[in-house]
Structure 1
Amino acid sequence: MTDRDNAVTTTRQPPNLRSGLADTLMARIESGDLKPGQRLPTEQAIMRATGVSRTIVREALATLRAKGLITTRQGLGAFVANDPTPRSFSIIPNDLQSIDEVLRVLELRMGVEYEAAGLAALRRRPEDLDRMQDRLDALDKALEEGGYGAQEDYAFHRSILVATQNSYYGRLFDTFGDIMVPRQWARLDKMTSAERKRHAARMRREHHAIFTAIRNSDEAAARRAIRSHLSKSAARFEELRDASISS
């Protein structure tokens, strides 16, 4: 184990303590053990050092990112922020302990993304469309392989915000990270093979409709498509909630 691995902790933590790893890393950042600009260990190294699952590692990193304590760089990993000062507002995994909380996040997204989709349709550039197509292809692949596609879903939606040419939209999403696409309630493992295929087909259809409207510079259609997608997502979560209450 390297010194960088030891920078996390060598104490094994129960995987059901979602906040344990985040608290440990946060304490080391605040104490200066993990310094500004320092690269964090890889997900695999953290898993070995702590004994927690990859899901918990990712949720812990999402919590730190939402608090402004770390940044992530594509292909390089996570780094302590240059000015690791906790943000006054964030949405972290521990906030989403019920479907009602997930529905509130979707309501927030509706307000932001409805306007962003319209602006993206009006302002998108060729490179924006290329980026969105790449993200859409990645999401399609994840869904075809039977995965949640949460990170790919987040990346696609963020590419819409980038296409607004207003950097504040992207920065707002970065504040929350992929927690904006909550996957712990999707319950794909509870679905039959046929149900999973129908779910994947719905997801692909809804996301392709959004992309097509933006590609066609159709502001009204883009707004309708994003609203329809998020409304249907909310309806699916409401069904899950109602089913859990009645069972």
Structure 2
Amino acid sequence: MMKRPLGTLPPQLSRTAQVADWFAREIRAGHLTSGEKLPTEQELIAQFGVSRTVIREAMASLRSEGLVVSRQGSGVFVADHEASASFRIISDELRTLAEVQHVLQLRLAVEVEAAGLAAERRTDDDLARMRDSLAAIDASIAAEDSAVEPDFAFHRAIASATGNPYFERFMHFLGPVIIPRQSVRPRGETADQRRRYLEQVQIEHRRILAAIERQNPEAARFTLREHLEAGRERYRRMVGVGEGA
């Protein structure tokens, strides 16, 4: 595979989304065929000139879209095209505020109720998963990573705590692409802005966790809704565009 300079790809996308976008287009165009093995992680790092974290998050995004599959001990392969043709939210569809807003509305419809049920039904193991996810986000902030995977893990842990397997399966089906910062990169964002953004997200996450720990379903629903609505407004300000742009 030839090296693809990321500067030639859509600049509004994050590095992770740029890599995932390129592979998604190559697969859908038939340039990468079903069953074809992708280069190793180290080869992809060299070819794209990005970090290991970017490659891993891009592969996770492609897996969530059903475009690639991982085989333990063998590597990552292009998935069967027919198997990957079902409904997905894909990263290259989330390039404007309006598209991100649509995904956040879907999340509100599902995750607010999930938070309430989680508060009623959570176990100690569920709480441990949520705490572990928040600790992983803290570590990502310290490492100046995007924290997309542990952020998604936190929301998936809430879905799991409902005791209803369909909530978690639905979250797994949607995949980490539902975390907006994986798909669209705010214009001119600095490392300090990213850090402050994630620190505020963590404050909101901890409020949600506290409500679930207290087994207060109304507070859990309120804090989850507040988190997603605050994220929608925060993201609108960060990308610097108006509603519906």
TM-score bin (small chain): 0.7 to 0.9
Please report the RMSD computed on the Cα atoms of aligned residues, expressed in angstroms.
Answer: 3.3
**Residue 213 of structure 1, CA deviation:** 0.8
Equivalent in the alignment of 2:14: none
| Distance in 2 (alpha carbons) for counterparts of 1:145 and 1:53 | 15
Match runs of 1:78-227 below 5 Å: 78=76, 85-183=83-181, 184-185=183-184, 187=186, 190-191=189-190, 193=192, 195=193, 198-227=196-225
| Distance in 1 (alpha carbons) for counterparts of 2:176 and 2:160 | 15
Letter of the 2:146 counterpart: Y
| Distance in 2 (alpha carbons) for counterparts of 1:220 and 1:20 | 43
Q: Which has the higher contact order (CA 8 A, sep 6+)?
A: 2
**Residue 71 of structure 1, CA deviation:** 4.4
Identity among equivalent positions (%) equals 37
SS in 2 for 1:233: helix
Equivalent in the alignment of 2:41: 43
State the TM-score, normalizing by the size of structure 1. 0.76
| Distance in 1 (alpha carbons) for counterparts of 2:153 and 2:105 | 19
Question: Number of residues paired by the alignment?
Answer: 228
**Residue 66 of structure 1, CA deviation:** 3.3
Over 3 Å counting, the alpha-carbon distance change for 1:159 and 1:78 in structure 2 is: farther
Pick the structure with greater CA Rg: 1
Is 2:160–2:167's contact at 8 Å kept on the other side of the alignment? yes
Runs of 5+ in structure 1 lacking a partner? Answer: 1-9, 35-39
Equivalent in the alignment of 1:21: 23
**Residue 153 of structure 1, CA deviation:** 0.9
Instruction: Write out per-residue CA displacement over residues 94-114 of structure 1, whole angstroms, 9 at most, x where no aligned residue.
Output: 011112211111111111100
| Distance in 1 (alpha carbons) for counterparts of 2:170 and 2:108 | 14
**Residue 81 of structure 1, CA deviation:** 6.0
Over 3 Å counting, the alpha-carbon distance change for 1:45 and 1:197 in structure 2 is: closer
